[in-house]
Every structure is written in C-alpha cells, then in structure tokens.
Amino acid sequence: MTTPRPETLAKLTPVLTKRWLSPDAWRIGTYEQLDGYAALRKALKAHPDDLIQLIKDSGLRGRGGAGFPTGLKWGFIPQGDGKPHYLVVNADEGEPGTCKDLPLMTHDPHALVEGVIIASYAIRAARAYIYIRGEAVHAARRLRNAVQEAYDKGYLGRNILRSGYDLELVVHSGAGAYICGEETALLDSLEGFRGQPRLRPPFPATHGLYASPTVVNNVGTIASVPPIVLGGADWWKSMGTEKSSGPMIYSLSGRVVNPGQYECSMGVTLRELLELAGGMQPGHNLRFWTPGGSSTPLLAAEHLDVPLDFEGVAAAGSILGTTATQIFSDQDCPVYATYRWLEFYHHESCGKCTPCREGNYWMVRVYRRILAGQGTHEDLDTLLDTCDNILGRSFCGLGDGATSSVTSSLQYFKQDYLDYIEGRTAPKLSEKTLVGAH
C-alpha cells in the first residue's frame, strides 16, 4: 500500500474519533483523563444563551444528513414559556451505508453523554432522551453503562456539579424501524405510538415531544458540542469550508482496499478519501458511489473531485447526507444496486402516505421485471413517472430518498437498463422470483 501524500494526510482531523484508540475510553475514569467532562464544567459557568451563540458562531450543522444549522435550531426553542423542554438525540442510525454513530457510541459514549448535558443546559431542558436503534445492542450496552457512571459521578441527576441544574437522561431502544430516524416519527415512537411522521409545521421546536419545545439532534452533532465548548468557535471553523465548518466522519465502504471511518476536514474529495483508504481494490475501477447514504443521488467517476461539503455536493446534483460513501466498481450493477435499495424503502415505508407506500411497492416490481429480462422501454418511463409522483409529494423524506438512486442511475447508467431490456445482459433474477410480480 502506498503512503498517502502529506497534503492528503493533512485533511485528516481526528476530533470526534480521537479517543477511539484508547481501549478504555468508554470508562468514565479514562474519559476524564482525556479532556472528559472539562467542557461540561466550563459550560455550566457560562450563560445558556452564550452557549447557543457559541454554537451559532461555530457554524456547526447537523450531522444527521440535512445539515441544518445547530445553533439556529437551539435558538428556536422559546424561552420562558413555562413549558418543559426536551432534548432528543437521534441515534437511530440505519441509512444504508451509514456507520459512524454506532462506533462513536460504542467506543466513546461519554462524549455523547457530555454533549447531551451541555446541549440540554443550553436549551433549558430538564429531561433528555437518547433514542438508539434497537439493533445497536453493543453501543446501547456501553451507553447505558456510561449514563449510569455519569449519574454516579454527579454529572447527571439533581444539582449537577453543584450548579443547581438538574437533568434526567434516558436511553430508549427502538425496535427496528428505519422511519424512526425521521425526527417527527422518532418523537411519535418515543411517545409509544407507531413511528409515523407528523405534519410540519408545527415544528418540534415548539410542538415536539409531548407537544412541548424539543430539539432533535444527531449523535455526531451532539458529540461535536464538547470540543467546540473547549476549543472555541474559531478553532472549529479552522476545519472545513466557510459554510460547512468542522470535521466530519466519512464512512467508506465497498470496493476499496481499506474501508472504514476517516474523520476529515469537510470538503475533502472522494479522490483524497480513496488515497487515504489505499485506493480501489485490485481489479476494480470506480463506477458509481453514494456521497451520503442510499437516499442521496448516485454520483459517478466524473465526480471524484467534488468537494464533499453541503454546498459542493448539492452543486453536483446530490446531497451530502450522512457522508456514507458506498463505493461500487465496474463489477457492480447499478440497476441491481438500485433494486436492492428500493426493496429496502419498500420494506421501511411506514404506510402513512400513498405515494411512498404504493410507489415503492410498484417500483420494486418493475425492477424485478427488468432484472429478469422481461422489462420494456416503457418501464423506464414508468419509473421516472413514479419517482415524479413520489418526490416532494410523499409525507416525509423517506419517499424522496427512495427516488434518488432511481433517477440518478437512470441519468448516468441508462445503458445498463437498456442492456437488460434488450437482452444484452443476462437476467440477474430468475423467473421464480417473479411469481406474483405482474
């Protein structure tokens, strides 16, 4: 493996990941020796409004996919309204390709707990919840342990560090529904209902959990708070680009030599990430990739130099999402990849709105037909037409996301579809799987 060039190595910014190499960082004693809970002590001496301003100044944007300015979100919480406020951490990581929050919670759970306490103090919440994906059992094990340790040490509970501030934190396991990563569906699920999205407005900022003002933030967002409190907004902005500040954990998977987590300055390119990851596997050439999970439109080899920040990826026609770069080669079929993603959206559609529920159901069937060598040219029009009726017309972003890979694969790889339809590619699915599909 060739060593990456120094200028590429300089893109690495270990901030959120920096403690992962310490095998015991999940224990409170080790965490405290590694800057742990220093940010909390500092934050509790500051006025909550100053903390909100600090986060605004840092330019921190949500790490869950949408990139909403975090300070602004906190600032939306009405103060002095007499209602209880809530902080809810979205740890329902499940976007295909995304695998950054689980390692963070497994290897550095106190970073999240400390961030939760600071953020709750800033928005004046007395209760916080971490809604963790049900399947993430080891991360939950470590997180529950961390929360208990924090209670025992007086970082949680009544009169935290004698500041007069009280906070209760509950780790709440989900039960296997991707839709609960959508913030309003998550709130419904946390209230004990089916996880289905709510109409917005009203937004969670005023009518969130239990119809009270609520901030919903991703794990990476909240874990970014302690380093910002310690190092300051200017230091944070020394990483990343003007409008996308800070470091970001890029998750590389697929046909690369060394898949894994690479925390880099925002705006790094795929070419640089590939260099860090040792390049493509021998015999594989980059063909298509997702910049941020399966809900973001596919990009192709021509996008190697697109800066992977919120603006750069949007200008290339896709979305930064969760920076889950799934990398596929010339030995992978974009039609089949899209079909498998659609199976996922079909399975995970909550059923609340018709475009998403029915659209994904039928698109899966069209794909099966194409992949079985029985597709027609009209099928491609049908797919685009269906996407047109889902995108922007479904109740939440799940439906939108489902269309991403369909429209983008048809944009870049239409020939692959035609090859199935016109019989140049051997059918990938057998007739057997088509029973009942027509």
Partner 1 sequence: MTTTFTDETRERARDIIARYPADRSRSALLPLLHLVQAEEGYVSPAGVAFCAEVLGLNKAQVGAVATFYTMYKRKPTGDFLVSVCTNTMCNVLGGQEVYDTLAEHLGVGHDETTADGTITLEHAECLAACDYGPVMTVNYDFFDGVDASTAVGVVDELRAGGRPMPTRGARLCTLKEMAVQLAGFADERDGAVADGGPGEPTLRGLRLAQQHGVSVPGFDPNTPIRSKAEADKAAAEAKAKAEAAKPAPVEASAAPVKGSDGASAPTGAAAVAEPAKPAGATEPAKPADATGSTTRDVKAPDDKSPQVRTAETRQPDAGTAAPDASGTKVPTDATGTAPEAGDARAAEAAGVAANPPAGDGKPAGDEAGAQERNLTEAKAGTDADGAGPADANETGAQK
Site for partner 1 in 34-73 (CB under 8 A): 35, 38-39, 42-43, 46-47, 49-51, 53-54, 57, 66-69, 72
Q: Which is nearer to partner 1, 138 or 424 (CB)?
A: 138
* Phi, psi (deg, nearest 5) at residue 211: 55, 30
Regarding 388 and contact with partner 1 (CB under 8 A), the answer is yes
Q: How far apart (Å, rounded) are the C-alpha atoms in residues 182 and 425?
A: 38
Examine residue 202 and say whether the peptide bond preceding it is cis (omega within 30 degrees of 0).
Answer: yes
DSSP 132: E
Q: Which is nearer to partner 1, 251 or 369 (CB)?
A: 251
- Residue 365: count other Cβ atoms within 10 Å of its Cβ: 17
- Residue 418: count other Cβ atoms within 10 Å of its Cβ: 16
Regarding 166 and contact with partner 1 (CB under 8 A), the answer is no
Contact present, 36 and 110 (Cβ < 8 Å):
yes
What is residue 165's three-state secondary structure? coil
Regarding 171 and contact with partner 1 (CB under 8 A), the answer is yes
Element (H, E) at 104: helix 101-107
Regarding 285 and contact with partner 1 (CB under 8 A), the answer is no
- Span 1-20, contacts to partner 1 by CB under 8 A: 3-4, 6, 9-10, 12-15, 17-18, 20
Shortest Cβ distance from residue 365 to partner 1 (Å)? 18
Task: Single out the residue of 123, 128, 167, 229 in contact with partner 1 (rule: CB under 8 A).
Answer: 229
Question: Going residue by residue from 354 to 383, which x/- string records binding to partner 1, judged by CB under 8 A?
Answer: ------------------------------
Q: How far apart (Å, rounded) are the C-alpha atoms in residues 11 and 15?
A: 12
Shortest Cβ distance from residue 438 to partner 1 (Å)? 22
Regarding 427 and contact with partner 1 (CB under 8 A), the answer is no
Tokens of 253: 């998977």
- Span 84-123, contacts to partner 1 by CB under 8 A: 84, 93-99, 101-103, 106-107
Q: Which is nearer to partner 1, 96 or 375 (CB)?
A: 96
Task: Single out the residue of 301, 314, 434, 437 in contact with partner 1 (rule: CB under 8 A).
Answer: 314
* DSSP code per residue over 234-245: HHHHTSB-SSSB
Q: How far apart (Å, rounded) are the C-alpha atoms in residues 326 and 337?
A: 11
- Residue 92: count other Cβ atoms within 10 Å of its Cβ: 31
Shortest Cβ distance from residue 404 to partner 1 (Å)? 5
Element (H, E) at 359: helix 354-371
Task: Single out the residue of 112, 239, 308, 356 in contact with partner 1 (rule: CB under 8 A).
Answer: 239
What is residue 126's three-state secondary structure? coil
Regarding 324 and contact with partner 1 (CB under 8 A), the answer is yes
Q: Which is nearer to partner 1, 222 or 387 (CB)?
A: 387
Q: Which is nearer to partner 1, 59 or 174 (CB)?
A: 174
- Span 176-205, contacts to partner 1 by CB under 8 A: 176-178, 187-196, 198-199, 201-203, 205
Regarding 32 and contact with partner 1 (CB under 8 A), the answer is no
- Count of residues interacting with partner 1 (CB under 8 A): 149
The single-letter code of the amino acid at 348 is E
Tell me the CA end-to-end span of the chain in Å, nearest whole number. 49
Name the segment binding partner 1 (CB under 8 A); options: 216-224, 391-399, 419-427, 429-437.
391-399
Contact present, 262 and 323 (Cβ < 8 Å):
no
- Span 241-260, contacts to partner 1 by CB under 8 A: 247, 250-254, 258-260
Question: Which residues are registered as beta bridge partners of 299?
Answer: 289
Tokens of 287: 């063909």
Regarding 138 and contact with partner 1 (CB under 8 A), the answer is yes
Q: How far apart (Å, rounded) are the C-alpha atoms in residues 304 and 313?
A: 11
Question: Which residues are registered as beta bridge partners of 76?
Answer: none
Task: Single out the residue of 63, 225, 263, 368 in contact with partner 1 (rule: CB under 8 A).
Answer: 263
Taking phi over 0 as left and psi of -120 to 50 as alpha, with beta for the rest, 321 belongs to left
Shortest Cβ distance from residue 20 to partner 1 (Å)? 6
Shortest Cβ distance from residue 369 to partner 1 (Å)? 19
Shortest Cβ distance from residue 63 to partner 1 (Å)? 14
- The full length of the chain comes to 438
- Span 139-158, contacts to partner 1 by CB under 8 A: 140-142, 144-145, 148
Regarding 267 and contact with partner 1 (CB under 8 A), the answer is no
